[in-house]
Every structure is written in structure tokens, then in C-alpha cells.
Amino acid sequence: MTSTAAEPLFLRACRREPVERTPIWMMRPAGRYLPSYRAVRSKHSFLEMCGTPALSCEVTLQPIDQFGFDAAILFSDILVTLPPMGLEIAFPEKGPVIAQPVRDRAAIDRLVVPDPVAELPHVMEAVRQIRAGLAGRVPLIGFAGAPFTLLTYAVEGGGSKDYVQTKKLLFGDAAAAHALLEKMADTVAAYLAAQVEAGAQTVQIFDSWAGILSPRDFEEYALRWARHVIAKLRAHPAVAAARVPIIYFVNGCAPYLDSYATSGADVLGVDWRIDLSTVRARVGDGVALQGNLDPGALYLPPDQLRARVEAVLDQGGPLGHVFNLGHGVTPETNPEHVRVMVESVKARSWSASR
């Protein structure tokens, strides 16, 4: 037994230190599948909830209290860094809308790299309140969108089916694309460092749309700038002092495993489309993995759901695995099945195998 029992299970798994069992959290635990979340949401807009520390804190703590996840994640949105850069966003039911997307060099040059502490003080206050509310029970994860994923929203003006505007910018004016990515990366690095200074104990960088790229373009446009964020974070005193684990999550990572392994992150998020054992064989033992149950598996009958959880645990193994869904939980999910998933993970002990 070489682990320090004083360090939280989740942080030890992120650092590939020994654990008694695999820790679990879920993307995203505060969502419409949860009745207590919907009760808050019925009284406030999504933007109000992101902008009000007490509300953000309340819904962040709900799933910890109800399911006993091994880590909490700040309730916020990957796009909150865009308005301070100069991009106004609305959040109608159908997803985010940026009325004036940036598609040329002039529009990109008008964007600023904001001071996140000055511009997003409510986020830092939410982090402090959540840490107080958690009272040491489990670690708190901060997060941000990855530079490339933020670029897709800024350029498309929202979500997209075929990302034509993104491709037109990347392939029509690569220099402008990199100028935009650099501003995104500097903003994200400062924003995540500020979250750590406010109390976040781990950070996750969400590259939700990097999976639309060919392998060479993934390296040039997504990975390069995620590395930039990670390197800047590593050099930050607060991040270095606390050995804050950095999680990088590329949704649709299967084609890029060799380069994905070189991101510099402590933990690689893995979506549900690929087996964890395949990923482990390709990325080696130098990095932890997080994932990767299909969110759709929560629609299975409990006995079949348990079997799928077991299969993910078997593939993840005892060292360097954080159990999670491979993508966000869907609104129609039965919360009782979330409970079955958490209990199944917690029932599996690795003590006997050491």
C-alpha cells in the first residue's frame, strides 16, 4: 500500500497513483435529467444560472449530494470566455447562437484577450462558494472550451452539421485561423489558471469538435493550441505548486491516438466510440484515461447496464483510470440508472488485485 490515503481518490487516479477502487464522475452531472436541476432551471435562464455564483454552486453540489460522485465539476459553459473577447452569445433552447460570427482577419483582429478575473468574477466566486460547500468531500474540477472548439463556435455562429465556415477559414486563410486560435488559447490558459487560483483542483479542456479534422489538421489546428494552453498552465505557479491534474478531452479521438498521447495532459478523455483497451495499447502508460461508457447505455435495463460498467472497468484497469461517460448524459436519462452506474463502479474493489 503505497498510496497516501489523505489525497482524494480522484486526484490519485489522475496522477496514476494506486487507488482502492476506480473513481467516477459524469459529464455533465448538473443537467436536465436531474429533477432538482430542472426545479432551479424552471426559475432561471441558463445564462442567469451561469452568472449567479449561488445558483452555480447549488446545482454543482446537487449531484454530489445525490449520487456520491468522486469529483464535482463547476456548473458553467464552455463558451463563457467568448463574450469578454468581444463575441456576444445568446442561449435559446436549440443551443448557443453568436449573431455576428468572425470569418475574416479584420473581425479576428478586433477580438481581445480579456483578463478573466476582472471580466468573469462570478465564475471565480462560484468556484470559491463550491469549494466551501464541498468542505473537502471531493475535489472540484474547473473547465474551459479548447481553442479549436471555441474557434468553431466563433466562426460558425453556433453548432454546425458540416463545419463549412470552419474549413473555409482553416483552408482559405490559415494565418487568420492561427491568429484566432492564439487569442483563444491565451484566454483559455488565463481563465483556467484563474479558476485554479480561486480553488479548482483539476481542470478539463473540452475539445468537443476536434473530431471533425483529418489527422494532420488535428495536429495543426487542435492539438497544437491545446498544447499551448497546457504548457502555459504548467508554468503557472498555482498550478505547479498544487500539481493540478490537467484533463484534455477530444470527442472522437480514435483517429488521432498517437498524437493525442503527446498533448502534455495528465489525463486523456476518451469518448465511447473506441475501446479503452485499444486506447491504452496505443498511448502507453504515461497518461491516465477518463471514460468511456456510451451515454446511451444508461437506457439499458439495470443488469445489462451493470455488465457494461464492468466491461469499462476491466478495460480501464486499476491504474490511471477515471470512470466517466464517453460524452454528456442525455436529458431523458433515468436518474435511477445513474445511481446504478455509480454503485456498480463503487462496488468494484482493486485491493485484491494489488
Four-CA torsion 75, 295, 79, 178, nearest 10 degrees: 140
Q: How far is the CB of 332 from its own copies (least distance, A)?
A: 6
| Shortest distance, position 310 Cβ to its own copies, whole Å | 13
- In the bound state with its own copies, the residue whose beta carbon lies nearer, of 201 and 290, is 290
Contacts of 346 (CB under 8 A, 6+ apart): 21, 24, 68
Backbone phi, psi, residue 200, to 5°: -65, 135
Q: Closest CB to its own copies among 163 and 350?
A: 163
Bridge partners of 140, per DSSP, are 72
Give me the residues that bind its own copies (CB under 8 A), please.
159, 161-164, 166-168, 170-172, 211-215, 217, 252, 254-255, 272-275, 278, 294-297, 299-301, 304, 326, 330, 332
144-159 exposure pattern, b = at least 16 Cβ within 10 A, e = fewer? bbbbbbbbbbbbbbbe
Task: With residue 206 as reference, give the H or E element that holds it.
Answer: strand 202-207
Q: Which is nearer to its own copies, 164 or 235 (CB)?
A: 164
CA nearest to 51, candidates 100, 91, 87: 91
Backbone phi, psi, residue 263, to 5°: -70, -25
In the block, residue with C-alpha cell 474551459:
144
The least CB distance from residue 261 to its own copies, in Å, is 15
CB of 179 to its own copies, least distance (A): 18
| Nearer CB in complex with its own copies: 214/351 | 214
* Residue from 60, 74, 70, 75 nearest 24 by CA: 70
Closest distance between its own copies and the C-beta of residue 85, in Å?
25
Q: Which helix (H) or strand (E) holds 203?
A: strand 202-207
Residue where the block lists cell 493550441: 225
For 227, 238, 320, the CA distances from 114, given in Å and listed in that order, are 20, 20, 35
With respect to its own copies, which residue has the nearer C-beta, 182 or 294? 294
Instruction: Please count the CA atoms within 13 angstroms of the CA of 318 that sit on its side-chain side.
Output: 12
The residue among 3 and 304 lying less far from its own copies, judged by its C-beta, is 304
Minimum CB–partner distance for residue 268 and its own copies (Å)? 15
Helix count and strand count (H, E) for the chain: 18, 9
Residues marked active site are found at 28, 32, 41, 77, 153
